[in-house]
A and B are shown apart, each in its own frame.
Chain A
């Protein structure tokens, strides 16, 4: 079926996407919490900023990442000086690009699930002796969890399909940054690459379909209202 190189591409794609959502989840959760619950004055602006990667051309996002994380960039320069790390042309850079692109989708899903949790239940937990953190962990989090997982899967699917920001930011390096979409693009440029394209495209569609179905199932569970345990 797939050649060893093609399996390697699938493996790299899964690794990049998994690391991308793992990187994004804490930030996405924090942002979703602020947007769902706080009365921050600049909330509209924050909301717009979070959603920017959804509407800005991905190539622009990639270029901005390049400015920030390049050797001369403020973050890239610091990483290099402090730890001797560079993300340029590395798979971790591809994960970073995917993370940025997945952020808006994850924030949206988590925010909706947090907004669906009635704060009056937390108030009830407080009167029963729970501090704010325990009320959050025992009431809010379990009730929001299906939505959080749906956001995670959605972000994972988005990361698998990430192309524009990745190729701009970390280029198309086989074995390092060449994820599925980039490999398909590269194969398209080669004469006789059609069969490779077809196999990789098939895998892409299959993975995306699985992720979307999983996300939908989870979202429906969270939207059903009362949960049984």
Chain B
């Protein structure tokens, strides 16, 4: 599995340009706030269209401006954990988790709901409403929802920046396990160097 990304996009006065060519299990986009890290994730996920460039993950081309190729987000098999989580407020935790699971073609699913709930330690939260969850709990549910959709890779946008130190350690441990046990390649966005060391990430600087 490899990330092969090369894209540019003009946003007003600024130009976001990034090149990632990596075989690493975990690539970190590192840079100050406002450098366009989230925009890069949005472009990889297909939520934002680069002006020019190419995005390939594990040899599968998701976007290629020269070839006129632009897969819609639902066909990119990308597990995106947003910085603002975006849990569906009108669905219980279990129904949030099931959302992507039910849409995933059977051959793409690699986890059952119970398995994921166990792995993430959220089995006791399944009947709860998203707004009743703590920050760490909501983060786990968001990760679980992305995993259950059967992604080929994960995009994690500052997954621990809003958490206290104890929760941060827990989630970082979980991410390391996803990287190692599930062997899912990850693009990880952060502005904190300590997280990079903790996860042993290959670093791509932005901005």
- A residues lining the B interface (CB < 8 Å): 118, 120-121, 123-132, 134, 138-139, 142-143, 225-229
Contacts and interface: CB of A to CB of B under 8 A. Distances in A.
Nearest to B90: A227
Interface stretch (B76-84, B116-124, B184-192): B76-84
A67 to B, nearest CB: 45
Nearest to B128: A228
B73 to A, nearest CB: 4
B53 to A, nearest CB: 19
List the 6 shortest-distance A-B pairs measured between CB atoms, nearest first. A128-B100, A129-B103, A226-B131, A126-B73, A124-B86, A227-B90
Nearest to A145: B90
Contact of B92 (A123, A131, A132, A229): A229
B130 interface: yes
A127 B91 contact: no
A127 B45 contact: yes
Contacts of B92: 229
Given A128-B99, A142-B90, A226-B130, 18 more contacts: A118-B86, A121-B86, A124-B86, A125-B99, A126-B47, A127-B47, A127-B76, A127-B79, A127-B149, A128-B100, A128-B145, A129-B149, A130-B99, A131-B72, A131-B74, A143-B89, A225-B131, A227-B90
5 contacts: A129-B149, A132-B72, A142-B90, A227-B89, A227-B90
A97 B89 CA distance: 39
Contacts of A226: 89-90, 129-131
Nearest to A135: B74
Given A123-B73, A226-B130, A226-B131, A128 B89 contact: no
B82 A120 contact: yes
